Structure 1
Amino acid sequence: MPNTQLLIIDAQNDFCDYSTEAYVPALPVPGAYQDCLRLAQLINQVGSGIGGVLATLDSHHMIDLAHNTSWLTEQGTAPPPFSLVTTANFIARRYRLAAAEVTSEQNDYVLNYLQQLEQMQRPFILWPPHCLIGTQGHNLNAELAQALSDWETRTSKPVTFVQKGENIWTESFSALKAVIPDPTDQATQLNLAVLEMLARSDRLLIAGQASSHCVKETINDILQFGAAGLKHKLVILTDCMSPVSGFEAAVEQFFTELRAQGIRLATSAEIALELVPANTQY
């Protein structure tokens, strides 16, 4: 049986569209909760066919360059989530950093950061504070966490967890590196250890949230920085990931491009049939 590895990207409570009286997710992705349930079912049913699991955790502080609460508008109030900050409106002071004391070096850094993003043709979106370290929102979805715990018990293998996003001055969508790495922070550089771990697989299943952002950027980095043969090992579990609202068409285009490169897209049910003989329970 081939060495099948599972990469789970940011399958955390704050991205799940599931609310209770005690907890409301900060950044729910429509469909994410059901994605987690399908992934948990896959692990529960055919986990014996999965040789290793790596799970990333989006991990933020309250103060973060990409949080809307870290900014102020001309009116002195926090801009609404999903606002776009550009070089032009930063220079015009329509948006400014909210910290009580902002140094000229920090302003210069942010201006340079925005300019680099525009050169990369990337928008700078302000997100609501989410996946704050130590909060319920930072935790994995409960059903998925239980499935992984059971998988560890039955296989005697630990899940490898990787936190990303703790640097407050740069964005970290990909599991492999920050959008603009900080030369003084190794954690924002290309994670060669993770890349090598993924490369050891014969088949790499990819699931998580959101397909439009963290999943997409992780796949793109795998294709850019991984060995040439790695892309032929990828299997994108399309029913175990969902896009942020408004990015549905972009994800469909991304999936079309992946297929054109010969990368496989499949459902969890299709993969389950391949991991163990039909009707065999884990």
Structure 2
Amino acid sequence: MSNTQLLIIDAQNDFCDHSTEAYIPALPVPGAYQDCLRLAKLINRAGSAIGGVIATLDTHHMIDLAHNTSWLTENGIAPPPFSLVTAADFIAGRYRLAATQVSQEKNGYVLNYLQQLERMQRPFILWPPHCLIGTPGHNLNSELAQALSEWEMRTLKVVTFMQKGENIWTESFSALKAVIPDPADQATQLNLAVLEMLAQSDRLLIAGQASSHCVKETISDILQFGAAELKHKLVILTDCMSPVSGFEAAVEQFFTELRAQGIRLATSAEIAIELVSVNTQY
């Protein structure tokens, strides 16, 4: 029987565009809630043919280099979410760290960080605080969490949960490594153990949020650092992921590039039919 694995990236409440009286998501991605429902439906319908599940959890402290509340403008107020900060901004004092006590060494670190990002041609975006440890926003979407619990009961296997992003001085979009790894923090380095787990699959389904950021960067790292044959095992569940607003065109371009590399893009309904068919053969 083939070994189909499922990698779920950051399918958490804070990214779901679904507010309730009890909770308002911090960083809702349009379409993310329905994505989670479709993924839950796939797991409920065809989960018996899924041999393993890895679910990543974006995990932050309130203090975080990439949170807008950790910064002040030259007017002494927090910049709005989605502000862009450049090295020149930092040098000129247009943006500074909000902490009352910031050492010269730490300011030097931040400047170097911004300069490294610019050499990588990456923007530095300030996000609203999200997926904070111990808050409802950090939890998986509840319908998806229920589907995974039932999958565990049916298969007698456990979901492998993996937290990323706890280091407050670097960004961690990818499930495999930080944007700029911290030499003193092993958790920010390339996660070879997870790469090895993914390599054991015959087919690797990928879903989660957001397609423009954490999903995109995870896929890119898999292609860059994973075994060559892993590329041919990937299946991108296009209806189980959505982009951050404003990044739709970038995602379409990314999907076009993936297709050109021979990577399969499919819907959850298509894959469910295939998994059910395979499962009935055994």
TM-score normalised to the size of structure 2? Answer: 0.98
Deviation at 1:277, TM superposition (A): 2.4
AA paired with 1:8? Answer: I
Q: Does 1:170 align with 2:179?
A: no
Pairwise mapping of residues 232-243 of structure 1 onto structure 2 (< 5 A)? Answer: 232-243=232-243
Equivalents in 2 of 1:254, 1:94: separation in Å?
33
What one-letter code is carried by the residue in structure 2 that aligns with 1:88?
A
Measure, in 2, the Cα distance between the counterparts of 1:93 and 1:2.
Answer: 57
**Cα pair 2:48 2:279 within 8 Å, conserved:** no
1:63-118 deviations in Å (ceiling 9; x for gaps): 00000000000110000000000000100000000001000000000000000000
Q: For the residues of structure 2 that align with 1:238 and 1:78, how far apart are their CA atoms?
A: 36
Q: Name the structure 1 match of 2:205.
A: 205
Q: How does 1:1-282 map to 2 (within 5 A)?
A: 1-277=1-277
Q: Residue type matched to 1:31 in 2?
A: G
Output the CA distance in 1 between the equivalents of 2:182 and 2:102: 19
Query: 2:49 touches 2:278 (CA, 8 Å); kept in 1?
Result: no
In 2, the alpha carbon distance for the partners of 1:80 and 1:276 equals 47
Hey, what's the Cα distance between the residues in 1 that align with 2:44 and 2:26?
A: 28
Query: After TM superposition, which residue ranges in structure 1, 4 or more long, deviate above 6 angstroms?
Result: none
Q: CA deviation at 1:21?
A: 1.3
How far the C-alpha of 1:278 sits from its partner, in A, is 9.3
CA distance in 1, matches of 2:84, 2:193: 34
Residue identity over aligned pairs, in percent, reads: 88
What do you get for the CA RMSD once the two structures are aligned? Answer: 1.0
Listed one character per residue, the Cα deviations across residues 34-69 of structure 1 (whole Å, up to 9, x for unaligned) are 000000000000001100000000000000000000
Q: Distance in 2 between matches of 1:271 and 1:230?
A: 18
Q: How far 1:141 moved relative to its partner?
A: 0.0
> Secondary structure at 1:207's aligned position in 2?
strand
SS at match of 1:181: coil
| Per-residue deviation, residues 187-227 of structure 1 (Å, max 9, x unmatched) | 00000000000000000000000000000000000000000
- Structure 1 residues 182 and 279, CA, compared in 2 at 3 Å: closer, same or farther? closer
Give the letter aligned to residue 274 of structure 1.
Answer: E
One-letter amino acid of the structure 1 residue matched with residue 119 of structure 2: Q
1:148-178, Cα deviation, whole Å (9 max, x unpaired): 0000001000000000000000000000000
SS of equivalent residue, structure 2 residue 277: coil
User: TM-score when scaled to structure 1?
Assistant: 0.98
**5+ long unaligned stretches in structure 1:** none
SS in 2 for 1:276: helix
Deviation at 1:2, TM superposition (A): 1.2
Letter of the 1:82 partner, please give it. Answer: F
Distance 2:91 2:22 in 1: 41
Report the residue type matching 1:14 in the other structure: D
Matched position secondary structure for 2:220: helix
- Name the amino acid aligned to 2:202: D
Number of matched pairs: 280
Residue pair 2:14, 2:138 contacting (<8 A) in 1 also:
yes
SS in 2 for 1:277: helix
Counterparts of 2:207 and 2:247, CA distance in 1? 17
CA shift, 1:279, in A, is 11
